[in-house]
Structure 1
Amino acid sequence: MYQLPYAVRESLVFDYTDPTVVTAFTSSFVHLETGHLLTNVFLYLVVVPTLYLLGIASGNRQRFYIFVSTVLVAFPPVLSYLNLAIIRSSATLGASGVVMGLVGCLPLTLADYLESRFAIGPVRTFAPMMFLTSLGLVSVLSVQSVVPENSTVLFVTAGLVLAVFLTVLFYAISAYEQVDNILSKLRSSADATGYFELSVAAIFLFVTVLFVAFPVDPTTENGVVNLYEHFVGYSLGFIASFTTVEVLNQFGR
């Protein structure tokens, strides 16, 4: 789509003041700047293979196809229209929100991998714990540029971080009896050549992408990074994947 004339690409952007069903879908695949396109393509090319490798290694290749196809098909229009929740005269374009939806699948996929390969779990505890911990990081990163000028934002952020901390603490307490067992498994897992490296690489990628998607300064030469869409995409990615697995488990699949 980047090869289309500039005017055509502009017409496919989702304009908040004139939203259409067509542009709600196409805007996620429209890029007006080369740098924007390359960044999203690069993130896609590292996140999707990581999800695929984790899925194969944990014996859940089918889930990978379900997650990726759902995000690529359903998320573009959903994210576009959710942008209308914040009234402003602007537009959204680019695949970063969709990519963050895929990143949102990482906590569950990684937790599933750790349980299946290293018996570190359960998934129902570790996946939400990783997701909620990452929300604390995201909330701090997202408001760095406005906190100095806005004490209200600082107060709300502090409350959010505290809530996340207490929630993570709750999950940690629920897994307290398994701590010694988990530590011994972590030590022994270092000998699992290949599998251990994959888990380390996946965790590193997970954290790094969050720093890239939620920069301290969201302003760029061509506009402002849509932190709201990144956050919504990431959250929906986890919620959708976690809910899907829970439903499939209920039906014994």
Structure 2
Amino acid sequence: MEKKIALTDIMVFTFFALVSALCFIVFLLPIEVQELLKARSDNWNLLTFFTSTFVHANFEHLVGNVLAFLLLGFIVYGLNRESNCEKGFIISMFLAISLLPFIYNLSFVLLANIIIGQPLVSCGLSTVIAGIIGLIIPSLIIFLRDMLQEKRSDLYFSSSLIFLTGSAIAFPYINFGAYNLTVFITTLTVGLALLLHVAGKLLNFAKQNLNAKKKLVTASIAILFYYTFLFSLFPSNIVMPQGNIVNIFAHYIGVFYGIISGIYTLNVLPKNKKMLKIQLPKINDHGIKN
């Protein structure tokens, strides 16, 4: 049975529309204004840590980021909607657009000043997009929780996706030395071993239940999207038409922030709220606790 459009749906659609529109509006501003909105490592302006998210280098950069933002956003929201975690998703997205840029740009400034030793400029929605990609893992855990059935399987499944994430990130760099190759082989081996451990349980469950089979197919497609986009975030080198090199560091921060924050906002936070409701005593009309 399909869900009816709810207030949370309208809130999510409005959020996506506003963020996308803001990116286009900023792009139409004079170049001088756009430059002022970019985050610069030699200028600790906290406001630009936020505004730089909506600034893009060129039209291709803008369109690519907005399309990826919308596509991934709706995919992740769809998973959480099916799991009745719409509110958790809204919280996750609010933090991704408000807190994540500050975390990244603060790290970016420290990296540029302490390690690289030269001023750098940061802008674009890609950090938020990477955060949404990271949210796919905790979203899938909830989506398949009834099929995984126990916490140990949850742990194996989430760990497998995280290890395979490491292998996907390491893959473009395997020719750069034995260390990178070792990381790739190790994370790939462990990830596949853990995934195979839970795959049998998922397949057996799906054989007995048509709805579970549909969920497994949906989850498989989401995983395919996840790793496809992940590979696009972490090539050994991303160069834009003008010759500017995309800051891969932003993608690292975004993906792992999405995974870690999503585990809390989509998994831990809802459980804590349920526990709070259970523990709070109820008081009747006579002031007596039940």
> What displacement does 1:33 show?
0.2
Determine which structure has more spread, i.e. the larger CA radius of gyration: 2
Q: Give the equivalent residue in structure 1 for 2:178.
A: 155
The 5-angstrom pairing of residues 53-132 of structure 1 reads: 53-86=78-111, 87=116, 88-116=118-146, 118-119=147-148, 122-132=153-163
Aligned residue-pair number:
241
Percentage of matched positions with identical amino acids: 20
1:8 is aligned to 2:29? no
Runs (5+) with no aligned partner, structure 2: 1-25, 276-290
> What displacement does 1:128 show?
2.8
Match of 1:83, as an amino acid? Answer: F
Instruction: Report SS of the residue matched to 1:65.
Output: helix
Match of 1:109, as an amino acid? Answer: S
State whether residues 189 and 196 of structure 1, in contact with CA within 8 Å, keep that contact through their aligned partners in structure 2.
no
Match of 2:57, as an amino acid? Answer: L
CA distance in 2, matches of 1:252, 1:34: 45
State whether residues 9 and 32 of structure 1, in contact with CA within 8 Å, keep that contact through their aligned partners in structure 2.
no
Poorly superposed stretches of 4+, deviation over 6 Å:
none
Greater CA drift, 156-165 or 201-210: 156-165
Q: Give the direction of change, closer, same or farther, for the CA distance of 1:64–1:38 in structure 2 (3 Å limit).
A: same
> What displacement does 1:167 show?
4.9
The 5-angstrom pairing of residues 11-50 of structure 1 reads: 11-50=36-75
1:204 is aligned to 2:229? no
Normalised by the size of structure 2, how large is the TM-score?
A: 0.73
State whether residues 54 and 113 of structure 1, in contact with CA within 8 Å, keep that contact through their aligned partners in structure 2.
yes
> What displacement does 1:113 show?
0.7
1:246 is aligned to 2:276? no
State whether residues 120 and 182 of structure 1, in contact with CA within 8 Å, keep that contact through their aligned partners in structure 2.
no
Q: 1:200-222: per-residue Cα shift (whole Å, max 9, x none)?
A: 33122112111221234322223
State whether residues 6 and 32 of structure 1, in contact with CA within 8 Å, keep that contact through their aligned partners in structure 2.
no
Q: 1:154-200: per-residue Cα shift (whole Å, max 9, x none)?
A: 2331343255246537846xx84x66433312445677675455323
Q: Give the direction of change, closer, same or farther, for the CA distance of 1:186–1:215 in structure 2 (3 Å limit).
A: farther
Q: 1:136-159: per-residue Cα shift (whole Å, max 9, x none)?
A: 111222x36xx4xxxxx5233134
Computed over aligned residues only, the root mean square deviation of the Cα atoms, in angstroms, reads: 2.7
Higher relative contact order (CA 8 A, sep 6+): 1
Q: 1:93-144: per-residue Cα shift (whole Å, max 9, x none)?
A: 100011101111101101211223x446643331232122111111222x36
CA distance in 1, matches of 2:50, 2:32: 18
Normalised by the size of structure 1, how large is the TM-score?
A: 0.83
State whether residues 52 and 124 of structure 2, in contact with CA within 8 Å, keep that contact through their aligned partners in structure 1.
yes
Q: Give the direction of change, closer, same or farther, for the CA distance of 1:163–1:4 in structure 2 (3 Å limit).
A: same
Match of 1:230, as an amino acid? Answer: H
Runs (5+) with no aligned partner, structure 1: 148-152
Instruction: Report SS of the residue matched to 2:144.
Output: helix
Q: 1:219-240: per-residue Cα shift (whole Å, max 9, x none)?
A: 2223112111101110111011
